């Protein structure tokens, strides 16, 4: 489990706060917080669910020996369907968060029916995190816990064929990625906030569902995201090193992955494992960065870690046939078939129009014929009946 995917549960009073009330009273503040706390390389964040003013206005819950279950945001849920809450799409990647992309990829590989909830990052789990899911009305937070819990519910274990030793390797390697390499990625993003927005083609207005001017959103994002992000990176110990040393650490982590993969299709043979999912989600964050943006780790993986790029492409091709569509449209649910609206064929429309004209023409001719027959059958007039008088 990664450092900031903690298991600390939010206070009970926080859990009872009405999301709509928070949105109505603090819309601008929440949008700014979301922009800063969520885009930060997609890593789940430990954020406060409400402001102090709302906390004071919320009555305290009675003491209880059992923790209250969080109310599901999706009230009209369908049984055995997973509802995924994550970051909004961007123009070159389904999610700028390796943890969100990890969960969605695992769901696709496992063949589990799921639906993304397009919440514009307004919701968090009770742990203050993204991603989280709701399954049969119950919330599950933290990417590792989500995979474990849903795996048990659907009797799915992608690592079932691995030996005990191989499972240990999976655990150690994922820990390296999510607790060490991840913070190197966060360091780059917080040091280069503008490059991150451009590199991932992030539209802040779309991402947080805000109508605030783009300039204002970017200003707040640069100021607060950088300040808080660097504080967290320093807390991990990564931030105290020089940029050259940090980049070297990142390259070393990526080299470990490249050496482990070698020329194999997946890390442990012909079938993907949880490690393949996590590596895919992290490598994707490098490969998609716009080429006009300077990124030393992106450059390294394209030159020295080509097998990791091939690994990424194989999984993308097999499990994300709608990748380009979701990036072009920013649709959260391109994997769900849309209702087919039958379009009338032009030839049939033209034929119907011709038939209608022919019918109208026949009607006119019939009416003329009836009028003619009526005239012939009409009684003679008085003038016609009387013979002309002769003198």
Q: Tell me: the pLDDT tens digits for 315-369?
A: 999 999 999 999 999 999 999 998 877 665 666 666 667 777 777 777 777 777 7
For residues 96-114, average pLDDT: 97
Query: Can you give the pLDDT at residue 345?
Result: 61
What DSSP designation does 66 have?
S
Quick check: helix, strand or coil at residue 369? helix
- Reply yes or no on whether the pLDDT at 220 is more than 90: no
**Is residue 45 very low, low, confident or very high in pLDDT (cuts 50, 70, 90)?**
very low
At CA 14, angle to CA 121 and CA 40, rounded to 5? 35
For the chain, what percent of residues have pLDDT higher than 90?
56
Angstrom CA distances, 264 to 4, 254, 261, 309, stand at: 32, 16, 6, 13
For residues 192-218, average pLDDT: 87
Query: Can you give the pLDDT at residue 66?
Result: 57
Of 213 and 57, the one with more pLDDT:
213
3-state secondary structure 200-248: CCCCHHHHHCCCCCHHHHHHHHHHHHHHHHHHHHHHHCHHHCCHHHHHH
The average confidence (pLDDT) of the chain is 81
- Give this prediction's pTM: 0.72
- Reply yes or no on whether the pLDDT at 8 is more than 70: no
Of 166 and 387, the one with more pLDDT:
166
- Over the stretch 244-271, which tens digit does the pLDDT of each residue have? 999 999 999 999 999 999 999 999 999 9
Counting Cβ atoms within 10 Å, is residue 160 exposed (0-12), middle (13-18) or buried (19+)? exposed
Element (H, E) at 287: helix 274-287
- Over the stretch 291-301, which tens digit does the pLDDT of each residue have? 999 999 999 99
């Amino acid at each position: 489990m990664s450092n900031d995917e903690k298991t600390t549960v939010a206070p009970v009073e926080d859990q009872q706060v009405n999301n709509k009330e928070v949105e109505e009273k603090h819309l601008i503040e929440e949008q700014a917080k979301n922009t800063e706390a969520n885009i930060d390389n997609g890593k789940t964040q430990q954020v406060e669910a409400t402001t102090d003013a709302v906390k004071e206005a919320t009555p305290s819950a009675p003491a209880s020996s059992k923790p209250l279950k969080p109310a599901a945001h999706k009230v009209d849920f369908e049984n055995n369907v997973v509802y995924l809450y994550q970051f909004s799409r961007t123009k070159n990647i389904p999610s700028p968060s390796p943890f969100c992309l990890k969960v969605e990829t695992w769901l696709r590989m496992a063949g589990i029916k799921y639906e993304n909830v397009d919440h514009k990052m307004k919701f968090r789990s009770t742990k203050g995190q993204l991603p989280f899911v709701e399954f049969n009305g119950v919330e599950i937070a933290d990417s590792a816990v989500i995979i474990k819990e849903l795996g048990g519910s659907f009797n799915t274990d992608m690592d079932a064929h691995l030996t005990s030793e191989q499972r240990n390797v999976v655990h150690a390697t994922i820990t390296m990625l999510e607790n060490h390499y991840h913070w190197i990625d966060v360091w780059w993003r917080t040091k280069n906030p503008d490059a991150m927005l451009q590199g991932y083609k992030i539209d802040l207005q779309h991402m947080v569902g805000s109508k605030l001017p783009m300039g204002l959103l970017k200003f707040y994002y640069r100021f607060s995201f950088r300040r808080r992000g660097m504080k967290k990176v320093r807390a991990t110990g990564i931030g105290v090193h020089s940029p050259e040393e940090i980049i070297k650490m990142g390259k070393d982590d990526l080299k470990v992955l490249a050496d482990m993969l070698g020329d194999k299709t997946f890390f442990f043979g012909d079938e993907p494992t949880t490690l393949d999912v996590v590596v895919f989600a992290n490598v994707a964050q490098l490969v998609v960065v716009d080429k006009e943006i300077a990124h030393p780790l992106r450059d390294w993986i394209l030159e020295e870690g080509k097998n990791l790029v091939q690994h990424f492409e194989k999984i993308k091709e097999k499990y994300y046939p709608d990748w380009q569509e979701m990036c072009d449209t920013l649709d959260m649910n391109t994997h769900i078939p849309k209702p087919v609206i039958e379009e009338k064929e032009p030839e049939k429309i033209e034929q119907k129009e011709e038939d209608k004209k022919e019918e109208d023409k026949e009607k006119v001719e019939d009416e003329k014929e009836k009028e003619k027959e009526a005239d012939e059958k009409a009684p003679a007039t008085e003038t016609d009946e009387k013979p002309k008088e002769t003198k």
